[in-house]
């Protein structure tokens, strides 16, 4: 059971961040659930705060039995405190090394006994007096090799960053904030697009009106030119009729100028 809200929040945040990160992979992330490691011995169990197991079906479990799943956790996190320091540093550390847990991370959200709050340990193999020995050595660079993540302290939580692109894995609160920001940005972009479309439509209608006005003016000019041409032809016809009439009068001996 978590000792405080800070410890509980660190457990839940770590669980959810890693669960989302490993979604779609053959892996599971469990928190505060019994890890049974010896068949037929119900007391041979431990409940890590958070454990990551690869090579198994994804999803939750009521407990995890190593002999049934055929796997042991690759990474274990203990959210530690002064009250659990001795057990976390000795009993659990020894047990996890014997089980073959590749990495063992201790996070002290209140800095009660780990000054830097986060302490990583990687299992290394040695030979001592001709016998193979597995022992945890400190992780100096904050890199979790099984997870492919870089870990760092961020206030009362562990910050997780992808090694391939440096992207931070967001905790639920950060995801919610990101979603709100994204929704607001998309809304602004949609409004901007609508305004641009409305402006473009207004400009299109204005161009159409200008083109219609220009066409009307062109047709008016054509009509005026046709009217002027008709009047010119009418004048020519009138002049021709007058000339014909004058010629007939002269043939009759009448001077049209004296009429």
Q: Other CB atoms closer than 10 Å to residue 75's CB: what's the count?
A: 23
Q: Band the pLDDT of 121: cuts 50, 70, 90.
A: very high
Residue 89 pLDDT more than 90?
A: yes
Please say if the pLDDT value at position 97 is more than 80: yes
pLDDT in tens, 132-181: 888 999 999 999 999 999 999 999 999 999 999 999 999 877 776 666 76
| Residue 106 lies in domain | 5-169
Query: Are residues 85 and 154 both part of a single domain?
Result: yes
Whether residue 65 is found in the same domain as residue 156: yes
Could you tell me the pLDDT band of residue 127, with boundaries at 50, 70 and 90?
confident
What was the pLDDT predicted at 75?
A: 98
pTM of the model: 0.71
Mean pLDDT of the residues in the chain: 91
Q: What is the mean pLDDT of residues 12-24?
A: 96
User: What are the phi and psi torsion angles at 245 (to 5°)?
Assistant: -65, -40
Q: What is the domain-level CATH number for residue 163?
A: 3.90.1570.20
Give the count of alpha carbons within 13 A of 70, CB side only: 3
DSSP labels for 161-200?
Answer: EETTT-PEEPPHHHHHHHHHHHHHHHHHHHHHHHHHHHHH
Pair (160, 75) in one structural domain: yes
Percent of the chain with pLDDT over 90: 69
Find, among 64, 39, 42, the residue nearest to 53 by Cα.
64
Q: How many domains does the chain have?
A: 2
Same-domain pairing of 126 and 178: no
pLDDT for 177 equals 65
pLDDT-derived band at 1 (thresholds 50, 70, 90) equals low
Does residue 103 share a domain with residue 10?
yes
- Predicted pLDDT at 2: 65
Left, alpha or beta for 241 (phi > 0: left; psi -120 to 50: alpha)?
alpha
* Span 40-65, pLDDT tens digits: 999 999 999 999 999 999 999 999 99
Residue 106 falls within a domain, yes or no?
A: yes
The residue from 141, 169, 197 where one domain ends is 169
Closest CA to 113 of 149, 142, 78, 160: 78
Please indicate, yes or no, whether residues 30 and 91 belong to a single structural domain of this protein. Answer: yes
| Residue 201 in tokens | 């439509």
Say if CB 163 and CB 149 are below 8 A apart.
yes
Based on the domain organization, do 134 and 48 belong to the same domain? yes
- Taking the C-alpha atoms of residue 102 and residue 166, their distance in angstroms, rounded to an integer, is 23
151 bridge partner residues: 160
**pLDDT average, residue stretch 207-229:** 91
């Amino acid at each position: 059971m978590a000792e405080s809200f800070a410890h509980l929040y660190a457990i839940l945040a770590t669980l959810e961040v890693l669960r989302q990160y490993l979604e779609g992979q053959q892996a599971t992330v469990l928190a505060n659930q019994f890890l049974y490691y010896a068949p037929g011995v119900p007391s041979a169990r431990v409940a890590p705060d958070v454990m990551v197991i690869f090579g198994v079906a994804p999803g939750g479990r009521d407990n995890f039995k190593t002999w049934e799943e055929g796997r042991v956790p690759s990474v274990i996190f203990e959210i530690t405190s002064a009250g659990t320091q001795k057990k976390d540093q000795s009993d659990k550390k020894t047990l996890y090394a014997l089980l073959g847990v590749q990495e063992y991370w201790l996070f002290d959200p209140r800095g009660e006994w780990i000054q830097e709050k986060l302490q990583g340990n990687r299992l290394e193999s040695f030979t001592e007096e001709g016998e193979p020995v597995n022992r945890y050595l400190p992780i100096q660079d904050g890199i979790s090799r099984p997870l492919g993540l870089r870990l760092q302290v961020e206030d009362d939580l562990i910050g997780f960053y992808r090694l391939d692109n440096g992207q931070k894995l967001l905790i639920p609160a950060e995801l919610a904030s990101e979603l709100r920001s994204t929704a607001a940005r998309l809304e602004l972009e949609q409004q901007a697009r609508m305004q641009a479309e409305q402006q473009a439509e207004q400009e299109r209608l204005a161009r159409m009106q200008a083109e219609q006005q220009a066409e009307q003016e062109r047709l008016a000019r054509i009509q005026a030119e046709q009217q002027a041409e008709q009047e010119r032809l009418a004048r020519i016809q009138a002049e021709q009729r007058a000339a014909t009439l004058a010629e007939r009068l002269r043939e009759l001996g009448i001077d049209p100028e004296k009429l």
